[in-house]
Chain A
């Protein structure tokens, strides 16, 4: 299966600004997950949104899901320098392919102090 796409590939903002990252996916999903990765380290789960949900919040994170457009977005509000990292969306397939997790190529976020 093909990987989804993330947009933009890189984002550079100032501390305090909001950061929005978009993800498009290709399959029928069970859920969509967002992860963060600091410079070559393991990924850390941020938030999961199920196919029957449209929006979800967790602290400064807001995720939306539009299954008709096969797209999701991650909004980080009031960004901090510590938010600098790569962010990945991952689509969890449904049906008989449950178990397959397909990651996008990621967005590199740089937050300048």
Chain B
């Protein structure tokens, strides 16, 4: 089944304790992206990657890191989480080359993060 998976789905942690949220897709997509969703603010893009070893900042990259060592994986790293990073996080992926109909993003189920 074609899908984007995220782990963990729920996480409660404390300020300053490094954490990683994993994202994996099995559709051979070039493009992967992370978003955070907060009430009243909609979804905001954190980082995106156009291909392996190619990453770029979205609109709210501060406090986050990413890496793209393999095509299928795009982990989101919070080196020193703070309470303002409490949010619902989504990973997404898509093709960007090829047929005109590509660009459709497939979203993971979300990770609800609480930083105390």
Contacts and interface: CB of A to CB of B under 8 A. Distances in A.
Given A31-B103, A41-B109, A44-B107, A104 B42 contact: yes
B104 A103 contact: no
Nearest to B56: A99
Contacts of B90: 42-43
Contacts, number: 64
Interface stretch (B14-22, B43-51, B63-71, B73-81): B43-51
Chain A interface mostly helix, strand, loop or mixed? strand
A45 interface: yes
17 contacts: A40-B110, A42-B107, A42-B109, A42-B110, A43-B105, A44-B107, A45-B104, A45-B105, A45-B106, A50-B100, A99-B31, A99-B48, A101-B33, A101-B45, A102-B59, A103-B43, A105-B40
Q: Which 6 A-B pairs have the closest CB atoms?
A: A42-B107, A105-B42, A103-B43, A45-B104, A43-B107, A103-B42
Given A33-B103, A103-B42, 11 more contacts: A3-B42, A45-B104, A45-B106, A48-B103, A92-B103, A99-B31, A99-B33, A102-B45, A104-B42, A105-B41, A105-B42
